[in-house]
Amino acid sequence: MEKYIKDGKVAVLYHPHYGGGWSAWAKPKDAVILAMDADIVRARIEGNYELFKNTVEKKVPNYTLKVDPALYARLQVKWLEVGTVFEITDHEGFESFKICYNDVMIA
């Protein structure tokens, strides 16, 4: 999987709002794709909802969360230094970041 990297930082998608997680609600393998896949992230950064939705459906066909315009609009990008080890945690759909020292996700 290619990551979206710019100026030495990796773009990571997350959902910092209550009501529906993004990657935290997915299977571990799918979570990495949803959070950091370059094509998915690029479509979100460029503001192209149709491309975003189609790319998610293609790359994570078994994703159970409905990718609708409201969820799409609430997704945000966090930029992490390349090599940062982190975990996306979830509380009732509100995702946040925990920088850690084990191999959970590596930016």
* pLDDT tens readout for residues 29-85: 899 999 999 999 999 999 999 999 999 999 999 887 788 898 899 999 999 999 888
The model's pTM is 0.87
- In this prediction, residues 81-99 reach a mean pLDDT of 86
Residue 6 scores a pLDDT above 70? yes
* Cα–Cα dist 45/27, whole Å: 24
Q: What are the beta bridge partners of residue 76? A: 14
- In this prediction, residues 14-35 reach a mean pLDDT of 86
